[in-house]
């Protein structure tokens, strides 16, 4: 946590439990120095109020968060003003040498002196890029380089994250997350990466997943280092790669930009040392620090069930020091740490910030992205678990998602100053005209930002990016995959579909002006696969189907889809179960279906039944 430099002098009052007007009187004209992002708990500590008080004020503004989440500077400023504080942005990253207190999950105060307890920590690096561009080979080459330098053996146990040491400095690599998993963890409130290494093959160049990875890294606000792999290939074309990167807005240093690009070969080990050196340089510029004296907090990278040892979780410690024997709460699970192992399978007694370890002793398997916190004892852990069960929610993601229907009110209240849009189109040529149309709609009060644009269907990766970045998704002649559609409904992401560019730009412009009429969302009621085709009346075929999801109902709207393309939309004209006419076909049942105006079915076609509902109305 970044501590405001005026904390000791400007926030010296005690905890206040009286009415808001009394609180404002006591804290009148007090100044508060805030970083660009601050945790709810830390923000409350800075003002010497309870976290519940902060959460109440956020709820009144329509922002739903929990005690462990972070809010941005503008949101914190609006809350602080209501509590009688005058804020200023914290310019420096280093913590001043003042004594301060931090409250842990256990409810226990721990004294920590700075800067002695605040020390530099290793950077956490995630490697992202297009499939088959050499991400795994690059990671293996880095691992082997480190093994040769240290123990001339073979790593015995890989845990999803590992740490190497080069020139006396440590670097932590997250091995498992691709860009989708990387953003899924962000969507659940776990911002774990400091630096993103973008892998681009010198022979292939920039590919669709490369573009997605860049968008996800930019949305996370982390610096990007480019590793240009496969430079030993005969058809490698580095200049083409540099040009393609510049078209994505990644201008490399030799062309006058700030993006570091390092040619590497996992096969010959060429450039590996240079890549590690450049990662260290970026880390030094970023000035990464952590408090080593506090009880540990961290995040789960991956977890599973071992047949002999029970639940096992790979945890990345983010601040404080994690010790064997400590009692921890991890998402919806808890336990006393029985043992910890590093990435080489060696038992360790403690883990410091930015160190990945595998822990044993939890009473269940947590989820990737769950937060870990050390608590005072088992009684406190059980108390927190009981409270969690009462709250009835496992999700750690913020539900304050942006929708076009609520956009104007959120702008008016000062909650947002930027509308993030994720755009998916059917063809590449549609992207630039739509992007230009949307970005022209911006103004001083609110600007429109196309966070990511690509072609094809809307995927779960797009939805996770929308959740993490509080964006809306726009599909232009593009549809959502079933999994993405379900995830968007669960997470409350606003997904809009258009086939005319003027309607798309017009709706967003109306939303900015508060004139957008209520919209209707589409709810999928059933999906069935065509298993056979039978002749029907008037040379019209009847589909013999098996219902896979939900149910099909007579007279309900339906679309016929073939290989992801919509062939026809009308209504279900007839339903038969054996020789009987029926009003509906449930999941798991077979039957005959007639579709009005369509009879040219093929085996493998999908029938998708749906209904439209006014947005914001419970289904």
Per-residue pLDDT of 146-159, as tens digits, reads 544 443 333 334 45
* Residue 104: other Cβ atoms inside 10 A: 19
CA 120-123-129 angle, to 5 degrees, is 165
**Is 442 exposed, middle or buried (CB count within 10 Å of its CB: 0-12, 13-18, 19+)?**
middle
Round to whole Å and give the CA distance between 607 and 530. Answer: 8
Angstrom CA distances, 572 to 136, 522, 527, 577, stand at 49, 17, 13, 14
Check whether 364 has a pLDDT greater than 60.
yes
Whether 272 and 337 share a structural domain: no
Provide the pLDDT for residue 348: 93
Whether 129 and 207 share a structural domain: yes
- Asked whether residue 441 is domain-assigned, the answer is yes
- Asked whether residue 381 is domain-assigned, the answer is yes
Angstrom CA distances, 395 to 152, 437, 482, stand at 43, 36, 21
- Asked whether residue 57 is domain-assigned, the answer is yes
Nearest to 601 by CA among 593, 609, 612: 593
The full DSSP string for 527-552 is: EEEEEEEEE-GGG-EEEEEEEEEEEE
Residue tagged 């002749």 (tokens): 535
Check whether 104 has a pLDDT greater than 70.
no
- Asked whether residue 97 is domain-assigned, the answer is no
Last residue of a domain, one of 469, 500, 517: 517
Confirm if 497 and 477 have CB atoms less than 8 A apart. no
What would the pLDDT profile of 404-425 be if each residue is shown by its tens digit?
A: 766 766 666 666 677 889 999 9
Nearest to 469 by CA among 506, 418, 507: 418
Nearest to 276 by CA among 175, 173, 192: 173
- Containing domain of residue 590, as a range? 523-614
Three-state DSSP at 212 gives helix
Residue 36, φ and ψ in degrees, nearest 5: -65, -30
Mean pLDDT of 295-302: 88
* CATH of residue 166: 3.40.50.300
Rg of the chain taking only CA atoms, in angstroms: 27
Provide the 8-state DSSP code for 616: T
What would the pLDDT profile of 519-528 be if each residue is shown by its tens digit?
A: 666 788 899 9
Provide the pLDDT for residue 135: 77
* CATH of residue 513: 3.40.50.10050
Check whether 108 has a pLDDT greater than 60.
no
Nearest to 405 by CA among 499, 495, 524: 495
The full DSSP string for 255-293 is: GTSSBEEEE--TTT-TTHHHHHHHHHHHHHHHT-EEESS
Nearest to 461 by CA among 147, 20, 76, 128: 128
Mean pLDDT of the chain: 78
Instruction: Pick the more confident residue, 472 or 445.
Output: 472
Q: What is the dihedral of CA 432, 207, 271, 288, to 10 degrees?
A: 60
Whether 131 and 265 share a structural domain: yes
Check whether 514 has a pLDDT greater than 60.
yes
Check whether 80 has a pLDDT greater than 70.
yes
What would the pLDDT profile of 218-268 be if each residue is shown by its tens digit?
A: 888 888 999 999 998 888 899 999 999 998 889 888 888 888 999 998 888
Provide the pLDDT for residue 558: 93
Whether 463 and 535 share a structural domain: no
* CATH of residue 608: 2.40.30.10
Provide the pLDDT for residue 178: 59
Residue 614, φ and ψ in degrees, nearest 5: -65, 130
Whether 538 and 511 share a structural domain: no
Provide the pLDDT for residue 607: 93
**Is 500 exposed, middle or buried (CB count within 10 Å of its CB: 0-12, 13-18, 19+)?**
exposed
Task: Please state which of the ranges 78-82, 333-337, 508-512 shows the lowest mean pLDDT.
Answer: 508-512
Provide the 8-state DSSP code for 482: H
Confirm if 68 and 104 have CB atoms less than 8 A apart. no
CA 463-466-471 angle, to 5 degrees, is 140
Confirm if 349 and 343 have CB atoms less than 8 A apart. no
Instruction: Pick the more confident residue, 361 or 507.
Output: 361
Last residue of a domain, one of 517, 548, 578: 517
Provide the pLDDT for residue 417: 73
Percentage above 70 pLDDT, the chain: 77
Whether 502 and 382 share a structural domain: no
Angstrom CA distances, 474 to 255, 497, 508, stand at 34, 6, 10
Count of structural domains within the chain? 5
Provide the pLDDT for residue 20: 43
Confirm if 400 and 409 have CB atoms less than 8 A apart. no
Whether 281 and 163 share a structural domain: yes
Check whether 511 has a pLDDT greater than 90.
no
Best-predicted range by mean pLDDT among 93-97, 482-486, 534-538?
482-486
**Is 140 exposed, middle or buried (CB count within 10 Å of its CB: 0-12, 13-18, 19+)?**
middle
Whether 427 and 443 share a structural domain: yes
Provide the pLDDT for residue 315: 92
Round to whole Å and give the CA distance between 522 and 520. Answer: 7
Round to whole Å and give the CA distance between 274 and 415. Answer: 43
Instruction: Pick the more confident residue, 327 or 109.
Output: 327
CA 68-74-75 angle, to 5 degrees, is 45
| pLDDT band of 339, cuts 50, 70, 90 | very high
Confirm if 343 and 356 have CB atoms less than 8 A apart. yes
For 216-241, what is the HEC assignment? HHHHHCCCEEEEEECCCCCCCCHHHH
Whether 18 and 155 share a structural domain: no
Q: Strands, E, within 284-382: which ranges?
A: 289-291, 297-306, 310-319, 322-323, 327-330, 333-341, 347-348, 350-351, 356-362, 371-375
Angstrom CA distances, 589 to 529, 546, 552, stand at 11, 6, 10
Last residue of a domain, one of 366, 391, 416: 391
Residue 85: CA atoms inside 13 Å, Cβ hemisphere, count? 27
Mean pLDDT of 16-44: 60
- Asked whether residue 106 is domain-assigned, the answer is no
| pLDDT band of 286, cuts 50, 70, 90 | confident
Whether 310 and 166 share a structural domain: no
Check whether 477 has a pLDDT greater than 60.
yes
- Residue 502, token pair as written in the block: 């003027």
| pLDDT band of 445, cuts 50, 70, 90 | low
The full DSSP string for 114-170 is: TTTSEEE---EEEEEE-TTSSHHHHHHHHHHHHHHHHTSS------SEEEEEETTEE
Whether 226 and 362 share a structural domain: no
- Residue 303, token pair as written in the block: 């977890």
Whether 82 and 34 share a structural domain: yes
Provide the pLDDT for residue 28: 46
- Asked whether residue 619 is domain-assigned, the answer is no
- Asked whether residue 105 is domain-assigned, the answer is no
Percentage above 90 pLDDT, the chain: 19
What would the pLDDT profile of 110-167 be if each residue is shown by its tens digit?
A: 444 444 578 889 999 988 887 777 777 888 888 775 544 443 333 334 457 888 888 8
């Amino acid at each position: 946590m970044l501590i405001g430099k005026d904390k000791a002098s400007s926030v010296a009052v005690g905890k206040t439990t009286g009415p808001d007007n009394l609180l404002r009187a006591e804290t009148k004209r007090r100044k508060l120095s805030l970083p660009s992002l601050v945790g709810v708990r830390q923000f409350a500590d800075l003002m010497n109020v309870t976290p519940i008080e902060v959460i109440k004020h956020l709820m009144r503004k329509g922002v739903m968060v929990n005690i462990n989440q972070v809010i941005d500077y503008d949101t914190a400023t609006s809350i602080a003003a209501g509590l009688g504080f005058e804020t200023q942005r914290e310019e420096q990253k280093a913590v001043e040498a003042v004594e301060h207190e931090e409250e842990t999950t256990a409810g226990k105060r721990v004294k920590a002196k700075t800067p002695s307890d605040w020390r530099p920590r290793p950077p956490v690096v995630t490697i992202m890029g297009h499939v088959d561009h050499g991400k795994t080979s690059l990671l293996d080459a880095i691992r082997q380089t480190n093994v040769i330098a240290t123990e001339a053996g073979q790593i015995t146990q890989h845990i999803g994250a590992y740490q190497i040491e080069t020139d006396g400095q440590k670097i932590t690599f997250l091995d498992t997350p691709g860009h989708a998993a990387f953003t899924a963890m962000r969507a659940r409130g776990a911002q774990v990466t400091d630096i993103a290494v973008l892998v681009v093959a010198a022979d292939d160049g920039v590919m669709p997943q490369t573009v997605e990875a860049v968008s996800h890294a930019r949305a996370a606000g982390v610096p990007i280092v480019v590793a240009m792999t496969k430079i030993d290939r005969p058809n490698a074309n580095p200049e083409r790669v540099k040009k393609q990167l510049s078209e994505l807005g990644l201008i490399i240093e030799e062309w006058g930009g700030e993006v570091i690009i390092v040619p590497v070969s996992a096969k010959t080990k060429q450039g590996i040392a240079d890549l590690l050196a450049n990662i260290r340089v970026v880390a030094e510029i970023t000035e990464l620090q952590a408090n080593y004296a506090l009880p540990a907090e961290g995040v789960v990278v991956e977890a599973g069930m071992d047949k002999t040892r029970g639940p096992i979780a790979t945890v990345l410690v983010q601040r404080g020091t994690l010790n064997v024997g400590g009692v921890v709460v991890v998402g919806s699970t808890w336990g006393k740490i029985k043992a910890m192992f590093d990435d080489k399978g060696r038992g360790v007694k403690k883990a410091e910030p930015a160190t990945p370890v595998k822990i044993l002793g939890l009473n269940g398997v947590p989820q990737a992205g769950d937060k870990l916190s050390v608590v005072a004892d088992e009684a406190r852990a059980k108390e927190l678990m009981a409270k969690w069960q009462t709250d009835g929610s496992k999700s750690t993601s913020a539900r304050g998602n942006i929708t076009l229907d609520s956009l104007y009110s959120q702008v008016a209240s000062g909650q947002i100053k930027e509308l993030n849009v994720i755009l998916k189109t059917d063809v590449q040529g549609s992207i630039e005209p739509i992007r230009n149309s949307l970005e022209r709609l911006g103004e001083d009060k609110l600007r429109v930002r196309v966070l990511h644009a690509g072609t094809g269907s809307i995927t779960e990766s797009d939805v996770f990016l929308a959740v993490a970045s509080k964006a809306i998704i726009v599909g232009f002649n593009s549809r959502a995959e079933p999994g993405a559609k379900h995830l968007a409904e669960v997470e409350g992401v606003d997904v809009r579909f258009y086939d005319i560019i003027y309607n798309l730009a017009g709706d967003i412009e109306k939303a900015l002006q508060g004139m957008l009429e209520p919209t209707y969302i589409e709810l999928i009621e059933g999906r069935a696969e065509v298993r056979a085709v039978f002749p029907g009346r008037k040379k019209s075929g009847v589909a013999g189907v098996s219902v896979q999801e939900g149910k099909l109902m007579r007279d309900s709207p339906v679309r016929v889809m073939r290989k992801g393309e919509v062939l026809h939309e009308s209504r279900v004209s007839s339903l038969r179960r054996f020789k009987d006419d029926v009003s509906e076909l449930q999941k798991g049942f077979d039957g005959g279906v007639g579709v009005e105006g369509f009879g040219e079915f093929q085996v493998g076609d999908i029938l998708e039944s749906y209904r439209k509902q006014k947005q914001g109305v419970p289904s």
